[in-house]
Chains A and B, each alone.
Chain A
Amino acid sequence: MNHKLELQHITKTYITEEGEMTALDGVNLEVKPAEFLCIIGPSGCGKTTLLRMVAGLDHPTSGTIILDGKEVKCASPDRGMVFQEFSLFPWRKVLKNVEFGLEISGMRDKERQAIAEKYIALVGLQGFENHYPYELSGGMKQRVAIARALATEPSILLMDEPFGSVDAQTRNILQEELLEIWARTKKTILFVTHSVDEAVYLADRVAVMSARPACLVKCLAVDIPRPRKRTSAEANEFRAKLLMWLSLERSKACVTV
């Protein structure tokens, strides 16, 4: 058992006015320690739901999620989460935002400040400790969110399209920085995205989800050596492969809708 995270037969059904609707239909997934795994799939396929389940913010109808050998039941700081929306506490300065989780855990002022400063430096925001979130750009906000998620030293980092609301150039920079952070902290990262480019650039493995009712159709290892070039022939080839799988899934979705 050298899996960091295991999802076993995860199903999720919602009860709607038209009756039961199955969103996730028996998803199985294993994530290795220090692995960077991207989940990609057609929109509305439930990839965010899956990630939220790992975070403990949503609960599977059946199936179990096992992290470090223990079953996940509810939210806890041992899983860091970065949301797509800007999620900084607007009344807290950058430093206090990063300190939040440590403050809740009851850590002393000085200790938590030292840790927070370390992570602010890690995301390259030294000098912005005393800025309020509204004074930051979108990319900076997400950097703070990453620092905040890492500050409690979670065993896994969950990212839900974290760069979805920043512009394309910032997004590229943030991706590079994330890879650096990943290399330095050796965190396991579960990263949900709808961008093929992002998945190919970042991931060790890409898990492709099918259209609703979703299950994992394929796990593809991205065997492109790092540091990667976005425009290399291998990257293009992989992108083509991934796009093919996705369009296959999309066409199925059209048939069922």
Chain B
Amino acid sequence: MRLPTKEKWVWLVPLIILIILWQFIAVYVVKKPEILPSVTAVIFSFYELRNYILPDILVSLLHFAMGMTSAFAVALPLAIAMGWYDTVFKAVDPIVELIRPIPPLAWVPLAIAWFSLTHFAAGFIIFIGAFFPILIASYTGFRDVPKVLVETGKVLGCIGNRKLIRYVAIPYALPSIATGTRVGMGVAWMCVVAAEMFGVSKYGLGCRIFTKFFPWHQMDYVVAYMLILGLVALCIDRVFRHFVEGKLFKWKKGIVK
């Protein structure tokens, strides 16, 4: 009975060791805060930057939300069409495969040319980043719908593609759509920072790091913001998993606890 409580906190041990090691190396070995800021300096930066953190997070989240929702809104209908109608797949897949390998950041010049330095420009880069993971995972889900379920749907009265898609294909593909969305969110978050760093936006976490902290070699601030970037992404992922995977997919064996 003692073991479970012990195991519950086991993750703290390596974490504390890591923090002590970091502090030790920064203070006694490297001794240069512009190369490796100490833990204490980073913690103190959180306090110093307290007025910037929240607005920056909100701006970055705004970019993230703009990119994600638009990517989802475009990718999902296209995924349904590509997954359900083979002709659409054959017609569109070459274009998708042509555009997909282009790194989202290569779109930065065009994004700025099209939207100038607005939130839309950042949102666009994130859209590009999130679009393809969502599209590909989703259409795979639709293509994989077992024939027997489609036929069962037909025999039970799903006449026409619309009903089959609504009652059979979408429920079946939902886990794939969720997986694609989760992967897409990861890519989107990378794009948030990168897009903001490359000057697509004048605000946001990435922008602050690159244009305000880095030129002055304030590495303690940089690391503080890096930690924020990680934590925000972690929170987004956890919230998503809690609400989507935990609630929607009880029927999937393996996810059920």
Chain A interface (Cβ within 8 Å of chain B)?
55-57, 74-77, 79-81, 83, 85-87, 89-92, 100-101, 103-105, 132-134, 148-149, 152
Contact = CB atoms under 8 A, between A and B. Distances in A.
Nearest to A145: B152
Contact of A83 (B152, B167, B174): B152
Contact of B171 (A56, A89, A134): A89
Interface stretch (B52-60, B79-87, B153-161, B207-215): B153-161
B248 to A, nearest CB: 9
B155 A85 contact: no
A191 B136 CA distance: 41
A89 B155 contact: no
Nearest to A77: B157
B10 to A, nearest CB: 32
B253 interface: yes
A215 to B, nearest CB: 25
B155 A75 contact: yes
Interface of B: 146, 148-149, 151-159, 163, 167-168, 171-172, 174, 250-253
Contacts of B158: 104
A86 B152 CA distance: 10
B148 A91 contact: no
B157 A104 contact: yes
A86 to B, nearest CB: 8
Nearest to A106: B157
A134 B156 contact: no
B170 to A, nearest CB: 10
Nearest to B155: A81
Given A80-B155, A87-B148, A101-B157, 6 more contacts: A57-B154, A76-B155, A87-B149, A89-B168, A104-B167, A152-B156
A177 to B, nearest CB: 21
Contacts of A77: 155-157
Contacts of B174: 91
Which of B154, B167, B172 gathers most chain A CB within 10 Å?
Answer: B154
Contacts of A152: 156-157
Contacts of B146: 85
A57 B251 contact: no
Which of A55, A74, A81, A104 gathers most chain B CB within 10 Å?
Answer: A104
Given A89-B171, A100-B156, A83 B151 contact: yes
B86 to A, nearest CB: 18
